[in-house]
Amino acid sequence: MSPARTGGLAYWASGGSVAGRHGPMPLARAVELLAFFNSEADASLRRGDEPAARFCADLALELGFALARAASWRRCGAA
């Protein structure tokens, strides 16, 4: 993984779904990916690789925000 981000978001909410640069993804997969990014951020920090840790943490935050927005949208639609 490169610690250099490209332009734009990698993950976002679209209605009650999460999408990424490769299209929509199941919510369960997004949660798995969030756990992976968190794990990699922790491992990179333990290795002293701060740029990689920041990169993974940034992706985790972006994905977590997309998951939260998708969940919020779903709750609003269920009312």
Please give the model's pTM, rounded to 2 decimal places. Answer: 0.84
Task: Give residue 73's domain range.
Answer: 25-78
CA distance 10 to 58: 10
Q: Would you say residue 14 lies in a domain?
A: no
Rounded percentage of the chain residues whose pLDDT exceeds 90: 80
From 39, 32, 30, select the one nearest 67 (Cα to Cα). Answer: 30
Is 3's pLDDT higher than 70? Answer: no
**Side chain identity at residue 70, one-letter code:** A
Q: Would you say residue 53 lies in a domain?
A: yes
Q: Would you say residue 39 lies in a domain?
A: yes
Per-residue model confidence (pLDDT) at position 7:
76
Q: Would you say residue 15 lies in a domain?
A: no
Per-residue model confidence (pLDDT) at position 56:
96
| Domain count within the chain | 1
Q: Would you say residue 60 lies in a domain?
A: yes
| pLDDT tens digits for range 10-25 | 999 998 999 999 999 9
Q: Would you say residue 18 lies in a domain?
A: no
Q: What is the mean pLDDT of residues 47-73?
A: 96
**3-state DSSP of 4-30:** CCCCCCCEEEECCEEEECCEEECHHHH
Tell me how far CA of residue 67 lies from CA of 4, 26, 48, 60, in angstroms.
Answer: 23, 11, 29, 10
